[in-house]
A and B are shown apart, each in its own frame.
Chain A
């Protein structure tokens, strides 16, 4: 792909309008690239651009400095048009050292801009990055097809802060602000938001705040005053629907969704969680909302985390546990208990690459089968998935609604890509959110006799009785229940009846799921791309571009995976071919084939990375032709 920045006219500081830009900030784990990217993103967002971000960092907190293992990247795609992905390739690569360039050059567009910190290209750094002795990409002509700006950012930062009281380490750590200032200048973005941010963040350390602001401005001035940069780029605000927006990551939206679910249901929220990447941020974020009827509990392990949540639900709260793959495995026994207890519970799995510890900081959609079937015995559960960072909010509300309406644990699937990625969110007002009705049972449902804890309503859901309710004392547990009474029963026919009832209850959830429609394209035709979860943005972009190119293709995106929307089978049968892209070796496709007996075609990616739009377009075109 050619960069949109390539070949622009070259007089000093010409302002060129660009539709959308992708920037990749790349550096050592300690170079502050995540913060730099976030600040750039926030500013772009406040100025009304649509955007999508992709933070990508190593599993090690501080991998050896200067090595490719320690490279931390933050990608932001912003534009005056609708943006659904962080971009396949970038227009601008900021490389703070040799390793960053080595790792991230491959995805820079031809003709793109490289901004390098030359201090990161000395003999030592080149060696650490694994360049052969004597080879320096800045000098050997290998970057000829790009526009390279070589700046000794380290030295400029030092000079800028000369005479300050800061130590060398603190001065060096300010160099990301120089980069940020320069990028703000290049893309004609104001510094105000970041200056406010710095002043707030370092309110108690004014000398650090001052140093950061000084360096930020130095970066801007460097762009403005030196004649190195020939062109500046302007991205106009996007034509987004009217309303109030904020920038939000998937994990933030999950946390806020939980607070909202608690408020809408009137149930106190209880989160039992154990730290695990990439789910920990939900625990961190929720812990800030303790004033909103939220209790967070960092348990001794994953098992205790879900068990405490089960206890909280039993006591009349909205019990929630958050985790990622390995933790999900540990929770499965307790999930079986929650299944037979038939109590509301949210289990949120922020998927990452597996098996085992796998790729803790990389994304994958490989826990779908685990969510569907990963329990001993037969105990189907509802499974729903979020399609984008902001969609995590709606997904959580939907999960909470299903959990209390149907008295069941619900598994919510998110993944590392949307959990850490962010996008502008036109947030709803509280008044627009539908209440979640909760009915605790306080009257005996068997007048004259013993209360029947497993007597079911028309949805096959059982009563929720909270300890403390007079006259309705009863015992529940993990042993098979007798129909209606809930007493322990080893009766053969009863077990079969209960197995069927539990499954039928989950199937009945489909009664409340609206018919699914294509997000993009026609409701029948030649080809449909069926996706679920975080692939939503990439599929939408690819399908829209192909439709614009005159192709007959549509996009259906699943939120409800168990049960499926009732019309899904009929809808899919209206297309000649069904393509199912997944960041796994083909899991949804097995469910679809088994249920609807259609010859769906799979498209797998298992690289710890999301699909790019071009990969998807290529695959779809291959199918169409």
Chain B
């Protein structure tokens, strides 16, 4: 097994360019994936992990081509299975920095089973889902995150299904780090990527990504300045939940129900608002539901940032500790002992 060494002072400092492979990037012009690739390449050098210790694993779809564009180790696999393959990589060599890149169809439809199980197992890896609410590579069918009624190639009269709410799904699957960002907010995405990298456990990063060809402008409400402040809320640990064009709106609890208050008119101050606590799963569950749910018929802004972060042992750590404990208690049997088993007889 290769030993992975910490980056030392002598190691030349890497730059974002060092993480670009020699392959031509072939996404459509204007695709949100370009921004994500750029932000990932931007933050990578900060992590101090040598390039050879980084592995990108992707499934199938536009997003999955990401792997070819990173000058790290990488495997572009099959549809939906990146999570399972990444599990094997991390289980065998826990010291590798493993990144999974997936799309909404790849992660939540064909790979749905692997997604939920990966979340609960809690390998220390990062799972990025580029959510564009459409199947792009197969040219425009509705996806499991498309809104109900979506008119697409396979649903000319509108889709009949409720979409997944990825944050809620991840929390329900016991994910230890649930976050959301968007392609058109580079700084925010970099922040979330840094947090994901720092988190020990499976870091789920949902990234709203514009597909200019098949689902253009789907997320513009959260990124364009005309609507962003009313439609999106950027949450930070320890800070009150404030949004609105003039940062005049806040969210507080009325019993167990969240309510939106106007701080200018209600007499409620920022100190009285819901203070975001990443480690509070109950509140994270409510926050995740700022999606298509309303509370008391009020429409809530879509949350971005780290919704939930929990410290808990990782799968590979548990696996390693169990092995070490067994070795300490029982020792390692010789191959001869394994071959013979406990009961033998001799023929003379």
Known: A308-B84, A334-B78. Is A315-B339 also a contact (CB below 8 A)?
no
Q: How far apart are A27's CB and chain B's nearest CB, in angstroms?
A: 25
Q: Do B85 and A310 touch across chains, with their CB atoms under 8 A apart?
A: yes
**Using Cβ atoms and an 8 Å threshold, which residues of chain A touch B75?**
314, 341, 475-477
Contact mask for chain A residues 166-185; partner B; CB cutoff 8 A; 1 contact, 0 none: 00000000000000000000
Contact mask for chain A residues 292-308; partner B; CB cutoff 8 A; 1 contact, 0 none: 10010101110111011
Is B25 at the interface (CB under 8 A from chain A)? no
Q: How far apart are A466's CB and chain B's nearest CB, in angstroms?
A: 6
Is B128 at the interface (CB under 8 A from chain A)? no
Distance of A193 Cα from B342 Cα, bound (Å) = 12
Q: How far apart are A622's CB and chain B's nearest CB, in angstroms?
A: 38
Is B22 at the interface (CB under 8 A from chain A)? yes
Known: A263-B335, A477-B76. Is A45-B345 also a contact (CB below 8 A)?
yes
Contact of B335 among A247, A259, A467 (CB under 8 A): A259
**Using Cβ atoms and an 8 Å threshold, which residues of chain A touch B293?**
none
Main secondary structure of the interface of B (DSSP, over half): mixed
Is B332 at the interface (CB under 8 A from chain A)? yes
Q: Do B67 and A475 touch across chains, with their CB atoms under 8 A apart?
A: yes
Is A202 at the interface (CB under 8 A from chain B)? no
Is A242 at the interface (CB under 8 A from chain B)? yes
Distance of A495 Cα from B328 Cα, bound (Å) = 52
Known: A428-B339, A430-B336, A468-B96. Is A295-B319 also a contact (CB below 8 A)?
yes
Q: Do A312 and B92 touch across chains, with their CB atoms under 8 A apart?
A: yes
Contact of A474 among B3, B73, B336, B344 (CB under 8 A): B73
Known: A312-B91, A468-B4. Is A427-B114 also a contact (CB below 8 A)?
no
Contact mask for chain A residues 271-315; partner B; CB cutoff 8 A; 1 contact, 0 none: 010000000000000000111100101011101110111111111
Distance of A334 Cα from B88 Cα, bound (Å) = 13
Q: How far apart are A268's CB and chain B's nearest CB, in angstroms?
A: 6
Distance of A297 Cα from B87 Cα, bound (Å) = 10
Q: Do A242 and B77 touch across chains, with their CB atoms under 8 A apart?
A: no
**Using Cβ atoms and an 8 Å threshold, which residues of chain A touch B344?**
244-246, 427
Known: A260-B338, A468-B52. Is A312-B348 also a contact (CB below 8 A)?
no
Is A203 at the interface (CB under 8 A from chain B)? no
Is A316 at the interface (CB under 8 A from chain B)? yes
Q: From residue 45 to 82 of chain B, which have CB atoms closer than 8 A to chain A?
A: 50-57, 60, 67-68, 70-78, 81
Distance of A312 Cα from B86 Cα, bound (Å) = 9
Contact of A291 among B21, B77, B333, B339 (CB under 8 A): B333
Query: Count of chain A residues with Cβ under 8 Å from any Cβ of B?
Result: 74
Q: Do A427 and B339 touch across chains, with their CB atoms under 8 A apart?
A: yes
**Using Cβ atoms and an 8 Å threshold, which residues of chain A touch B332?**
291-292
Q: Do B78 and A472 touch across chains, with their CB atoms under 8 A apart?
A: no
Q: Do A272 and B88 touch across chains, with their CB atoms under 8 A apart?
A: yes
Known: A290-B323, A468-B52. Is A312-B88 also a contact (CB below 8 A)?
yes
Is B23 at the interface (CB under 8 A from chain A)? yes
Is B227 at the interface (CB under 8 A from chain A)? no
Is A497 at the interface (CB under 8 A from chain B)? no
Q: Do B334 and A311 touch across chains, with their CB atoms under 8 A apart?
A: no
Is B93 at the interface (CB under 8 A from chain A)? yes
Distance of A337 Cα from B59 Cα, bound (Å) = 11
Is B257 at the interface (CB under 8 A from chain A)? no
Main secondary structure of the interface of A (DSSP, over half): mixed
**Using Cβ atoms and an 8 Å threshold, which residues of chain B touch A467?**
2, 52-55, 73, 89, 93, 96
Distance of A477 Cα from B70 Cα, bound (Å) = 13
Known: A312-B91, A467-B52. Is A478-B77 also a contact (CB below 8 A)?
yes
Q: Do B335 and A307 touch across chains, with their CB atoms under 8 A apart?
A: no
Q: How far apart are A486's CB and chain B's nearest CB, in angstroms?
A: 11
Q: Do A290 and B322 touch across chains, with their CB atoms under 8 A apart?
A: yes
Is A503 at the interface (CB under 8 A from chain B)? no
Q: How far apart are A471's CB and chain B's nearest CB, in angstroms?
A: 7
Q: Do A311 and B88 touch across chains, with their CB atoms under 8 A apart?
A: yes
Q: Do B52 and A429 touch across chains, with their CB atoms under 8 A apart?
A: no
Q: How far apart are A177's CB and chain B's nearest CB, in angstroms?
A: 19
**Using Cβ atoms and an 8 Å threshold, which residues of chain B touch A292?**
332-333, 335, 338
Q: How far apart are B246's CB and chain A's nearest CB, in angstroms?
A: 48
Q: Do A315 and B335 touch across chains, with their CB atoms under 8 A apart?
A: no
Q: How far apart are B265's CB and chain A's nearest CB, in angstroms?
A: 51
Distance of A46 Cα from B67 Cα, bound (Å) = 57
**Using Cβ atoms and an 8 Å threshold, which residues of chain A touch B60?**
478
Is B268 at the interface (CB under 8 A from chain A)? no
Q: From residue 319 to 339 of chain A, which have CB atoms closer than 8 A to chain B?
A: 319, 333-334, 336-337
Q: Do A308 and B335 touch across chains, with their CB atoms under 8 A apart?
A: no
Contacts A312-B91, A475-B74 known; list 7 others, CB within 8 Å.
A45-B345, A243-B347, A319-B88, A429-B339, A467-B96, A468-B1, A472-B52
Closest 9 CB pairs of A and B: A311-B88, A477-B76, A468-B2, A308-B88, A307-B84, A304-B84, A300-B117, A467-B73, A430-B335
Which B positions have Cβ atoms within 8 angstroms of A? 1-4, 21-23, 50-57, 60, 67-68, 70-78, 81, 83-93, 95-96, 113-114, 117, 319, 322-323, 326-327, 330-336, 338-341, 343-348
- 11 A-B contacts (beta carbon < 8 Å): A242-B348, A244-B345, A245-B345, A304-B87, A307-B114, A312-B89, A313-B88, A467-B93, A472-B52, A473-B71, A475-B74
